[in-house]
Structure 1
Amino acid sequence: MKKQCMGLINLDKKGNPNISILNYSRPLSSTPIAGRYRIIDFVLSNMVNSGITNVGIYAREKYRSLTDHLGSGKDWDLSRKQGGLYIFSPENTKQNNGYGFRTGDIYSILANIDYIEKSTEEYILIAPGYMLCSMDYRDAIEYHKKSKNDITVIYKRVQDADEEFLGCMTLNIDSNNKVLNIGGNIGAFPSANISMETYIMKRTDFIKCIYKIASLGTHSYFEDYIKANLSNIKVGAFEFKDYLKCINSIQSYANASREMLEKEVSRELFYSERKIFTKDKSQAPTIYMKNANVKNSFIATGCKIDGTVENCTIFRKVEIGKGAVIKNCVIMQNCKIDPGVVLENVIFDKNIHISEGKELKGDNDYPMVIEKNQKL
């Protein structure tokens, strides 16, 4: 698959999904998850594991933390002389480009269309930054080639659409895997074909589409163009059958953090032959003190624990004092929890210090979120 397909990670999505105050100073794609990763690590690793080594990332806003995390792409083996990793800043979307000052992913892509034009791969795979899974795209690309589709969209059949994947696109598919129409999931029914918003098509056809849409001015987003032209273009569907999570709300983020503690989910995401890569931050091992009692939790390196931790995700360099009780929480890096603190269903952003004896409890479905750099 090497040099046969290029990748495009599109962060300029319609509706600009975000997860509460956790995205105040960072894009959704660079939100920390699972103790040491960022959300974007999953789709980027999927591309690399599928032999895609020419990847462009189209940012939208607040992308400094993203560039800091990804750097040159060396941790994903994307620091290369040919191909590699390219991050395009949102400032370029403000350029006129002869089409007026417009917003949307069409014009974001158009502002840097020369990157795609100069690439040599036959196919392009466009994916969002907030669909979390471990997937080898090669089967989907082979399916696309054999099907003669103009566009192939990857989807998952789910039975919990009334509770999960709210706001995601849904597909109506016939017996030949042709997409008949595209709608939105409002949670009315449990069974649905959830679009992973991942599209495969010929690179030259994608370029033509972008120029055509921009010149007509009919759509600002590529997904809207597909919806409106289902009768004119052949859009097929490829089914993904493994674990999938859409991180588009604080509830879905909390649910994903809990589900990753399950053995089957953790094994599929982190212990399969498809490794999830991330930025290397070597730390000293975590120190478990005399009173430490840890159950069913992710604990990153560099921590110091002297309390009870249960069903939690603890990021790097977190200190948990003697007698503290932490349950069903996500505690990001550099947080300090003093002795006797009780936390339940709470999400701490980084650099938070909570003083001795205090208690914070959120709801299981609606966890309490504390923004970074706070002293409580």
Structure 2
Amino acid sequence: MKVMGIIFANDATVDALTSSRTMASLPFGGRYRQVDFHLSNMAAAGIRHVGIVSRHNYQSLMNHVGSGEEWGLEMEEGGLEFLTPYAMSVTNTYRGKLDALHSVLGFLEYGSDDEYVIMADSAVLSNMDLNAVLESHIASGKDITVVTKTGIADGKKQLDLALKLDESGEIIDMAVDYVADKSYLASMDVFVLSKTWLKEKVKEFIARNLFHMDRDLVLGQWQKGEITVNVYEFSGVALFNDTPAEYFRNSLALIDSGVRHDLFGGNHPVFTRVRDRVPSYYGENCEVEDSIVADGCIIEGEVEESVLFRDVTVCEGAEVENCVIMNNTVIGEGAELKYVILDKDVTVRPGARLIGTENNPIIITRGETV
């Protein structure tokens, strides 16, 4: 049984952090990009035909993923393809997943022996056994399977797709862009469906001026009783990076060994592009506590409960607490940072003081000097 994968790179944004990159290429966890988790899930499930749909700002994503060698996608039949349906568009208008799929129908039609399609969005990170999801879908006999997570709905967070089940596991309510209470499950934006059925629905819906996966296909057709929906409840760690505050909290959540081990080794390893660096250097008077430090860093100051990506320099006397510091950043002598996200190539002047909060971290964009 052959399965193809589709990853949507741009369907969510995190304000300043995705102004010049896709959500899929957003750095996470010290060495990784968010797309790594989805590519690793698919590779572990034996999926060797993967398309990444990206409508803009995809250069860094292409540089990172390359030919897909790290995930075993460069030599297999089908392999990895970048799908840029709006690259030549004058208006660059994006109207939804179904619209994007209609623009890349050639990818869906290529490879006649692919029976199923697994689609994933880049904003939700997990270490998922997609073979188990596929088996659940086939056993259910239903048109589409939605992967969900309990504990995300809290009466505050707006969910792309919320589902409520009865005691037998059947759906009794469904809503889109809804602030749901704790009785609802949150869609992880992972869907399984047959390729033939998907192609038919994409053509049909675009002909009727309908473009949205969640609202028009899943919710709309379920309400009319025209499709059946299977729900797969994922039991592992699922990190929803839909806002800057969520990205910040989820990044620091990796300091918890239980979260870290589940996300990076729950079902299989997570692979990323190999970038060899020298080991990190820890100065004689430095202090590092409860932090994740990637290779190539130079630490002379104090770092506490933070995530440092590659080649970060923390000068003597600097204090870094509850921060996410991306590649090639320099934090000057005596600087004080708390609840801060520094993008790549940022320079913090000596003595600078940046203090945010957990719900409103300060974000310094790439290449800035503060």
Give TM class, smaller chain.
Answer: over 0.9
Q: 2:4 aligned to 3, 6, 17, which one?
A: 6
Q: Is the 8 A contact 2:5 2:49 kept in 1?
A: yes
Q: Tell me if 1:42 matches 2:33.
A: no
User: 2:137 aligns to what SS in structure 1?
Assistant: helix
1:328 and 1:345 in contact (8 A); partners too: yes
Mapping of residues 147-296 of structure 1, within 5 Å: 147-158=140-151, 161-163=154-156, 165-184=157-176, 186-187=178-179, 189-217=181-209, 219-224=210-215, 225-230=217-222, 231-296=225-290
* Distance (whole Å) between structure 2 residues aligned to residue 63 and residue 90 of structure 1: 12
* CA RMSD between the two structures: 1.9
Report the equivalent of 2:311. Answer: 317
Counterpart-to-counterpart distance in 1, 2:240 and 2:277: 30
Q: Is 2:116 aligned against 1:123?
A: yes
Structure 2 Cα separation of the partners of residues 363 and 161 of structure 1 = 21
Is 1:136 matched with 2:129?
A: yes
- Contact persistence 2:14–2:244 (CA under 8 A): yes
| CA offset digits 1:62-121 (Å, max 9, x no partner) | 11111111111111111024021111114258499xxxx873322221121111112221
Contact 1:33 1:257 in 2 (8 A): yes
The answer to whether the 8 A contact 1:12-1:104 is kept is no
Which blocks of at least 5 consecutive residues in structure 2 are unaligned?
none
Corresponding position of 1:352: 346
Alpha-carbon offset, residue 186 of structure 1: 4.8
Letter aligned with residue 220 of structure 1: F
| Separation in structure 2 between the aligned mates of residue 282 and residue 212 of structure 1, nearest angstrom | 49
Per-residue CA deviations over 1:35-77 (Å, capped at 9, x if unaligned) read 0111111111111111111111111221111111111111111
**Post-superposition offset of 1:272:** 3.9
Residue of structure 2 in register with 1:326 after alignment: 320
Q: Contact between 2:23 and 2:34, CA under 8 Å: does it hold in 1?
A: yes
Any residues of structure 2 matched to 1:84-123 within 5 Å, and which? 84-91=79-86, 94=89, 103-119=95-111, 120-123=113-116
Q: What does the per-residue CA deviation read over 1:213-245, in whole Å, with 9 as the maximum and x for residues that have no partner? A: 11222x111222221100111111111111111
Aligned CA distance change for structure 1 residues 208 and 186 (closer, same or farther; 3 Å): closer
User: 1:177: Cα distance to partner?
Assistant: 3.2
Count of residue pairs brought into register by the alignment: 365
- 8 Å CA contact 2:10–2:24 kept in 1: the answer is no
Structure 1, unmatched stretches of 5+, are none
Aligned sequence identity (%): 29
What is the TM-score normalised by the length of structure 2? 0.93
SS of 2:159 mapped into structure 1 = coil
- How far apart are the structure 1 equivalents of 2:94 and 2:308? 42
